[in-house]
Amino acid sequence: MGTMQWAETTESRGVLEQGFRIELEGRDVPGILWRAEDAAESAPLVLIGHGGTQHKRSGYVLSLARMLARHHGIASFAIDGPGHGERSTGEDFETTWARDSIYDEMVADWRAALDAVVAEQAPSSIGYWGLSMGTMMGVPVVAAEPRIQVALLGLMGFGRLNGDRLRADAPRVSCPVRFLLQWDDELIDRQGGLDLFAALSSEVKSLHANPGRHSAVPPQEFRDTVGFLAAYLTA
């Protein structure tokens, strides 16, 4: 577990937001924790993985975190992925993710953040939400972390950049999964996405495919991901 530093808490319409930083093996990992103002310490928790070129406070991450807190009393946190947000190094996406150690470092970052949040919150249940690069991060994290009980994944497949690691980790994902696929995705090969879904070992999994390009996930589909997680985490 790394060294954690918490920032001051702010409040917006019943949702508390608190920044944090973890020092882990020479890496500085910034993140944000959101929770309902009136939530119990044992409230469920969701790890939110942002997409490529995005960061821990991107608009849709904030929207998701606030929906989880306001409508379901579920806490959540996000960290900046390697080379993104406050961790930007100026490298391009492929250079960052081509390093041999990147996946193991990234999994360690998420697990250290989860350990620190769990020490403060003691959540009753834990889930993961991540699309696109959030699934590049999410499949290895969910595979490595037995505390995660349900996952929302998608907009990713076996590709030239990530194929070996995701092929190795996907069969180790056994929790319930909902997987989103954009049928006309210009960034992710359709068959690669279908192959990733098929490789997940989860006995309970569903594929939600919609027409449109990579970033054109229908708003209702996005909102339904919150209900999907909540159904498992608050049961």
**Domain edges within the chain:** 3-233
SS3 content of the chain, % helix, strand, coil (to 5): 40, 25, 35
Residue 160 has pLDDT above 80, yes or no: no
User: What span, in angstroms and rounded, lies between the C-alpha atoms of 126 and 206?
Assistant: 19
Model confidence at 1, in pLDDT bands (50, 70, 90)? low
Hey, how many other C-beta atoms are within 10 angstroms of the C-beta on 52?
18
The more confident residue out of 191 and 161 is 191
The more confident residue out of 39 and 81 is 81
Residue 17 has pLDDT above 70, yes or no: yes
Residue 3 has pLDDT above 90, yes or no: no
Model confidence at 100, in pLDDT bands (50, 70, 90)? confident
* Token reading at 68: 């989880």
Residue 52 has pLDDT above 80, yes or no: yes
Cβ pair 33, 20 in contact under 8 A: yes
Model confidence at 165, in pLDDT bands (50, 70, 90)? very high
What's the pLDDT tens digit per position in 179-196?
999 999 999 999 999 999
Name the percent of the chain lying above pLDDT 70. 99
Residue 90 has pLDDT above 90, yes or no: no
Alpha helix stretches (DSSP H) within the chain: 59-72, 93-97, 102-121, 133-144, 163-169, 190-199, 219-233
**Amino acid 97: pLDDT:** 85
3 state DSSP class of 172 = helix
Phi/psi for 176 (5° steps) reads -55, 140
Least confident of 60-74, 89-103, 175-189: 89-103
- CATH class for domain 3-233? alpha beta
Which residues, at least 6 apart from 204, have a Cβ–Cβ distance to it below 8 Å?
A: 176, 177
Q: How far is CA 151 from CA 26, 40, 51, 126, 140, in A?
A: 29, 22, 15, 9, 12
Cβ pair 74, 233 in contact under 8 A: yes
3 state DSSP class of 159 = coil
Identity of residue 45: L
DSSP bridge pairs for 152: 129, 178
pTM for the whole thing?
0.96
